[in-house]
């Protein structure tokens, strides 16, 4: 490899990604508890660790694409590729790709604007 060529990006292991997501989730929970929120009111709204890993991988993809958020078709391709790269995340990916509306505010489903 020539010195001027970019080095290929090495992907982290799923175990490391899950550990980072667990740390992030713990920090989110601790902050909300410090703010006086009742865990009964917010725990069900939080993503699972695997869903958070998918969001982190999706965010990396968005960053690599110049920060452009994906449209619905690209969203599907990005999330499907995550499932192919990390088969244990397949269930979380398909849950996030679900067509139904969700009560979760952080849902990654891309909705078409009504305007």
pLDDT tens-digit series, residues 76-85: 999 999 999 9
Residue 43 lies in a domain: yes
Q: Which domain holds residue 73?
A: 14-96
Residue 41 lies in a domain: yes
Residue 107 lies in a domain: no
Residue 110 lies in a domain: no
Residue 92 lies in a domain: yes
**More confident call, 94 vs 4:** 94
**CA–CA dist 54, 63 (Å, integer):** 14
pLDDT interval class at 111 (50, 70, 90): very low
Using CA atoms, how far residue 85 sits from 37, 62, 114, in Å, is 37, 17, 34
Q: Is the pLDDT of residue 41 over 60?
A: yes
**Cβ of 111: how many Cβ atoms within 10 Å?**
8
Go through 21-42 and write b for each residue having 16 or more CB atoms within 10 A of its CB, e for each that does not.
beebbeeeeeebeeeeeeeeee
Total number of domains constituting the chain:
1
Task: Write out pLDDT tens, residues 50-108.
Answer: 999 999 999 999 899 898 888 889 989 999 999 999 999 999 999 888 755 454 555 55
Q: Is the pLDDT of residue 112 over 90?
A: no
């Amino acid at each position: 490899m020539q010195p001027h060529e970019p080095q290929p990006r090495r992907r982290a292991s799923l175990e490391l990604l899950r550990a980072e997501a667990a740390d992030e989730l713990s920090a989110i929970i601790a902050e909300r508890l410090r703010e006086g929120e009742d865990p009964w009111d917010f725990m069900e709204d939080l993503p699972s660790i695997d869903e958070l890993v998918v969001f982190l991988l999706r965010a990396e993809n968005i960053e690599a694409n110049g920060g452009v958020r994906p449209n619905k078709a690209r969203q599907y391709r990005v999330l499907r590729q995550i499932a192919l790269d990390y088969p244990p995340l397949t269930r979380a990916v398909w849950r996030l790709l679900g067509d139904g509306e969700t009560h979760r505010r952080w849902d990654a489903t891309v909705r078409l604007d009504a305007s």
